[in-house]
Structure 1
Amino acid sequence: MTAPQPLDFAQITRPRELSAELRDQLVDCWVRVINAGGAVIPRGLPMPPVRNDQADPALGRLVGALDPRRARMLIATAGGQLAGWLILRRDPHPLVAHCGAVNHVMTHPDFRGRGVGTALMRRVGELARQEMGLEQLHIAVRAGLGLEEFYGRLGWREIGRWPGGLRVAPGDDRDEVLMYLPL
């Protein structure tokens, strides 16, 4: 694995913090990841191929829910270019407020294989623990893409599966793998 240019990280914690230029880059990244076979297809988006005008409203819903106490976007850039991003959420209910969920983890296809995903996951663990006071993180991933192994190398543990819970295409059902990271 070759290292990219040094990564810079930024958080978006409120909708007004997202510039139009960065929003366009996030949508473009999301569409490219989905169309390359990535597992970050949210509810409401069609199966690939996806267009930017279809992904933009989904990004708008994610950004609209940002709040420093409950949901943050972590962005990685290299040389001023978007390299990857993810969402970190916490449920405010007292029974689970010590837990966070990581969603929409993606590395821009132009930066694949350069450690961006690893760096994002390490940084989100620090952010969750140090800034949000979280004690554990959860993630659900699609089986069949090597994601269980990737997250496992970073300390995540598989805690369960929904067998055949994700239908990628007719006749292509995959397990949804539930994973946990103690902080």
Structure 2
Amino acid sequence: MALTFELDPPGGNDLRDGVIALWKDVSNAGGAVGFVPPVTAEEIRPEWLRHLTAVAEGRTRLLVGRDEEGEIAATAFLTFNSHRLMTHWIWLYTVMVHPRHQGKGYGRDLMAAAAEAARGFEGIEAIRLTCRGGTGADRFYAACGYKEVGRVPGAIRVADGDDRDDVIMLLPL
């Protein structure tokens, strides 16, 4: 079964709890989405609130993928660039597919849905994202059509003695 995607779903406790649970499960499975395992829902909540504030202010859009049971199985945040010389591209953040759904093609579906959403935003010509080196995420994004356009060696400190590259990727629309 395919995921059903919705841009800017209605807020509320179900959305909050679903996204936070997804974020926790992805993080604890080793996903590179801003945390290092182990992480709790309480640790993720402040980051969710920061993202939600950006959504409420219209700076960010939330894309949610639901599985056949209606559970949140995938998300991505699309953030408009506020610099006046860079408003023609958008950032893609916190791209997640629940571990129980990985290997089913849902990640590619999520990336295609994000690109389709971005194409619907006036004046947007490209999507830019960054990913943590050493995770294979850069290979995944490349398979989705993104090109590596930069790399900052050792910019992400996962743990003492474990620094990872910050890989910058771009998808022209």
TM-score bracket for the superposition, by shorter chain length: over 0.9
**Equivalent pairs, count:** 172
Q: What residue identity is the alignment partner of 2:81?
A: D
Other-structure match for 2:12: 19
Indicate which of 81, 84, 97 corresponds to 1:91: 81
- Residue 69 of structure 1 and its aligned partner are, at CA, apart by 5.0
Deviations 1:39-79 (A, max 9, x none): 1116xxxx321111111121011011115853100000111
- Residue 29 of structure 1 and its aligned partner are, at CA, apart by 0.7
Other-structure match for 1:7: 3
Length-normalised TM-score, structure 1? 0.88
Q: What residue identity is the alignment partner of 1:107?
A: V
Q: What residue identity is the alignment partner of 1:56?
A: R
Q: What residue identity is the alignment partner of 1:28?
A: A
Length-normalised TM-score, structure 2? 0.93
Which consecutive residues of structure 1, in runs of 5 or more, have no partner in the other structure? none
Give the share of equivalent positions with the same residue, in percent.
Answer: 38
2:77 & 2:147 partners in 1: Cα distance?
A: 20
Other-structure match for 1:118: 108
- Residue 149 of structure 1 and its aligned partner are, at CA, apart by 1.0
Is 1:155 equivalent to 2:145 in the alignment?
A: yes
Query: Contact conserved, 1:33 with 1:107, CA < 8 A, in 2?
Result: yes
Q: Where does 1:33-72 land on structure 2 (aligned, <5 Å)? A: 33-41=26-34, 47-67=36-56, 69-72=58-61
CA RMSD between the two structures:
1.6
Which consecutive residues of structure 2, in runs of 5 or more, have no partner in the other structure? none
Query: Contact conserved, 1:69 with 1:132, CA < 8 A, in 2?
Result: no
1:83 & 1:132 partners in 2: Cα distance?
A: 28
